């Protein structure tokens, strides 16, 4: 496959560990955003706590919950979603949901975990939203499916765009380019908030960077999101200035600064 679009440096989204989680029973598949009793998103914008908004809405069938907190099913995504204004009991719910020693990425929380909780990863990031992206389908972009997951996991391990697990593909549509049969670039949909869908896992094999493949995939994924009447958004590490500049050149604008946080549940005294 020969790219026909202008060459653009490929973005490097934030690198986060693909945190493995133990299995739990699925949550009910019926909670409707934002009216689920005791679990409503609250007064903040849904994009301020996007994993929670997704798990209460379009991704409710992939949710597991305990008390006031939710998370994605094992092998789908490492995110756990706290209430918009978590108190001590919310952290106790996280501990009960995940189990001692478990690790999870926390959505929408910029504070400090309670004493005894290990911070596995913490760093500043940015959230950008579509404000004029030239979204367009790409005839050469292939829709990836379950049979492609093994190659997708290998590409993610090589390029490290962020967490991608064996069932992450269930979150939305993923597109890719192949060269001589090999998967060389991919991007897709992750958090699906009512009215919004996140573009994620944007990555390209090292030997094929600088050909504009990531740009083409972002345009193509954005086109699919727009076709549903929704707005694309994405995240990047604040230090990844090259990616941020590229995304801004594509028509994304900065919406807010965010904090990337991953924590480990205490082995004893969790939530205390």
pLDDT of residue 246: 93
pLDDT digits (tens, 9 = 90+) for 86-129: 889 999 999 999 999 999 999 877 678 999 999 999 999 999 99
pLDDT of residue 11: 41
Residue 206, SS3 per DSSP: helix
Q: Could you give the CA distance from residue 261 to residue 258 in angstroms, rounded to a whole number?
A: 10
CA distances from 219 to 15, 56, 136, 230, 239 (A): 22, 28, 5, 14, 23
Q: Could you give the CA distance from residue 243 to residue 234 in angstroms, rounded to a whole number?
A: 11
Q: Token pair of 2, please?
A: 């020969």
**CATH class of segment(s) 128-257:** alpha beta
pLDDT of residue 220: 99
pLDDT of residue 33: 29
- Sorted by sequence, the CB contacts under 8 Å of residue 87 that are 6+ apart come out as none
The pTM (predicted TM-score) of the whole model is 0.83
pLDDT of residue 37: 36
Up-side HSE of residue 52: CA atoms within 13 Å toward CB? 27
pLDDT of residue 142: 99
User: So where are the chain's domains?
Assistant: 128-257
Per DSSP (E only), the strands in the chain are 63-66, 69-72, 79-81, 103-107, 118-130, 142-143, 174-179, 182-193, 196-204, 231-237, 252-264
Q: Could you give the CA distance from residue 235 to residue 242 in angstroms, rounded to a whole number?
A: 13
Beta bridge partners of 206: none
**Ranges of the chain whose pLDDT falls below 70:** 1-43, 110, 269-272
Contact 78, 163 (CB under 8 A): yes
Tokens 């992206």 sit on residue: 133
Q: Token pair of 108, please?
A: 């929408």
Contact 246, 204 (CB under 8 A): no
Q: Token pair of 237, please?
A: 């590490």
Contact 27, 65 (CB under 8 A): yes
Q: What is the average pLDDT score of the chain?
A: 85
Residue 148, SS3 per DSSP: helix
Q: Token pair of 31, please?
A: 């909670």
Q: Token pair of 80, please?
A: 């756990």
């Amino acid at each position: 496959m020969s790219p026909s679009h202008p060459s653009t440096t490929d973005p490097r989204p934030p690198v986060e560990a693909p945190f493995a989680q133990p299995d739990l029973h699925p949550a009910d598949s019926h909670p409707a955003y934002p009216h689920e009793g005791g679990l409503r998103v609250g007064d903040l914008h849904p994009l301020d706590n996007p994993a929670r908004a997704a798990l209460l809405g379009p991704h409710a069938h992939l949710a597991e919950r305990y008390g006031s907190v939710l998370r994605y099913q094992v092998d789908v995504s490492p995110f756990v979603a706290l209430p918009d204004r978590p108190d001590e009991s919310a952290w106790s719910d996280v501990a009960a949901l995940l189990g001692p020693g478990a690790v999870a990425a926390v959505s929408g929380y910029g504070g400090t975990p309670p004493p005894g909780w290990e911070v596995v990863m913490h760093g500043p990031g940015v959230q950008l939203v579509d404000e004029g992206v030239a979204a367009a389908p790409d005839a050469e972009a292939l829709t990836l499916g379950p049979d492609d997951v093994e190659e997708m996991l290998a590409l993610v391990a090589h390029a490290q765009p962020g967490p991608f697990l064996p069932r992450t593909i269930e979150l939305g549509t993923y597109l890719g380019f192949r060269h001589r049969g090999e998967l060389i670039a991919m991007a897709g949909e992750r958090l699906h908030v009512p009215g919004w869908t996140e573009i994620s896992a944007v990555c390209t094999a090292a030997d094929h960077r600088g050909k504009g493949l990531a740009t083409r995939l972002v345009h193509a994924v954005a086109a699919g999101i727009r076709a549903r009447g929704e707005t694309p958004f994405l995240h990047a590490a604040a230090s990844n200035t090259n990616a941020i500049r590229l995304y801004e050149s594509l028509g994304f604008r900065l919406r807010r600064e965010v904090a990337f946080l991953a924590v480990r549940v205490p082995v004893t005294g969790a939530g205390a």
